[in-house]
Structure 1
Amino acid sequence: MSETRSICIVVYDRSKRPDSMLRHTAQRLRAMGLHVGGLLQDGKPGDISSCATLVLEDIGTGRRIQVFERRGAEALGCRLDPSGLAEAAGWVREALATSPDVLFINRFGHLEAEGRGILHEIGAAATAGIPMVIAVSQLLLPQWHIFAGHVAFFATTSEQIESWSLAQAAAAS
Structure 2
Amino acid sequence: MKLAYVSSQKQGETDRLLTELADDLQAGGLELRGIVKEQGYSAVYENGCDMYVRVLPDGPSIKITQDLGEGSNACRLDPASIVEAVARVENSSFDDIDLFILNKFGPEEIAGRGFCTVLAKAVEHDVPVLVGAGVAGREAFQKFAGGMAESLPDDATVLRNWCQKPR
TM category (shorter chain) comes to 0.7 to 0.9
Normalising by structure 2, what TM-score? 0.84
Distance change (3 Å), C-alpha of 1:73 and 1:16: closer
Residue aligning to 1:163: 161
CA distance in 1: counterparts of 2:58 and 2:22, whole angstroms? 13
CA distance in 2: counterparts of 1:75 and 1:137, whole angstroms? 22
Q: Which amino acid aligns with 1:87?
A: E
Normalising by structure 1, what TM-score? 0.81
Q: Tell me if structure 1 keeps the 8 A contact 2:19–2:36.
A: yes
Distance change (3 Å), C-alpha of 1:143 and 1:76: closer
Residue aligning to 2:106: 109
Q: Which amino acid aligns with 2:128?
A: P
Q: Which amino acid aligns with 2:45?
A: G
Total equivalences in the alignment: 163
CA distance in 1: counterparts of 2:160 and 2:110, whole angstroms? 26
Tell me how large the CA RMSD over aligned residues is: 2.3
Q: Tell me if structure 2 keeps the 8 A contact 1:12–1:138.
A: no
1:79 paired with 2:76, answer yes
- Larger fraction in strand: 1
Structure 2 residue runs without a partner (length 5+): none
State the Cα deviation string for residues 31-75 of structure 1 (Å, max 9, x = none).
Answer: 221112210014537337xx7311110121221111111234575
Residue aligning to 1:23: 19
State the Cα deviation string for residues 67-109 of structure 1 (Å, max 9, x = none).
Answer: 1112345755332112110110012213443441011111111
CA distance in 2: counterparts of 1:94 and 1:78, whole angstroms? 27
Poorly superposed stretches of 4+, deviation over 4 Å? 72-76
Which aligned pairs between 1:81-96 and structure 2 lie closer than 5 A? 81-96=78-93
Q: Which amino acid aligns with 1:12?
A: S
**Higher Cα Rg: structure 1 or 2?**
1
Which aligned pairs between 1:1-173 and structure 2 lie closer than 5 A? 3=1, 6-13=2-9, 15-42=11-38, 44=43, 46-47=45-46, 52-73=49-70, 75-156=72-153, 157-168=155-166, 171=167
